[in-house]
């Protein structure tokens, strides 16, 4: 394992500053960040999500053959959309929106988390291929520039997953 260079540390700390600047009811809260003693790892302390992530909750419900009520699906969708809206208003692209990065604070309250690959948009578009393949929009797959619409695409993928587990 290599020690982080001064430039790498500066870049990591800039990302932490982005996290620290975001306060929204549907974004997991930032508490603190520090480099551990050896300087190999940046540790970021975020708000605790006592009920885990949405991916795990959906798998558990599927195993128990329990379906989601429609009102809960809409509630989750709206909360995730509000979190994305807050990020996008600050010109921050999440780039890894997926059920595993939606944290459950209670049975009905969710927050977007894991902004580890988030990017502050300085221009109109970006073209770094990053994220989780299942949630990537066509332009990322084609190595074309993309913008905030890529997060909205991923939100649509989450909505589709929730609808697959809907009560009739």
H or E segment and range at residue 31? strand 30-35
Instruction: Count the residues in the chain.
Output: 168
Q: Of 39, 22, 12, whose CA–CA distance to 31 is shortest?
A: 22
Measured CA to CA, the distance from residue 44 to residue 135 in angstroms comes to: 25
**Quick check: is 96 catalytic?**
yes
Name the catalytic one among 53, 71, 96, 114: 96
Secondary-structure percent of the chain, ordered helix, strand, coil, rounded to 5: 40, 15, 40
Active site positions, annotated = 96
């Amino acid at each position: 394992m290599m020690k982080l260079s001064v430039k790498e540390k500066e870049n990591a700390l800039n990302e932490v500053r982005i996290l620290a600047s975001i306060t929204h009811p549907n974004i997991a809260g930032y508490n603190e960040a520090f480099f551990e003693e050896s300087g190999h790892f940046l540790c970021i302390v975020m708000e605790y999500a006592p009920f885990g992530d949405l991916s795990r909750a959906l798998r558990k419900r599927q195993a128990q053959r329990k379906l989601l009520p429609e009102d809960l699906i809409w509630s989750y969708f709206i909360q995730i959309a509000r979190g994305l809206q807050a990020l996008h208003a600050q010109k921050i692209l999440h780039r890894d929106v997926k059920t595993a990065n939606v944290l459950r604070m209670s049975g009905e309250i969710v927050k977007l988390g894991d902004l580890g690959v988030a990017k502050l948009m300085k221009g109109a578009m970006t073209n770094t291929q990053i994220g989780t393949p299942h949630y990537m929009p066509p332009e990322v797959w084609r190595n074309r520039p993309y913008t905030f619409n890529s997060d909205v695409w991923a939100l649509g993928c989450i909505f589709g997953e929730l609808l697959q587990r809907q009560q009739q």
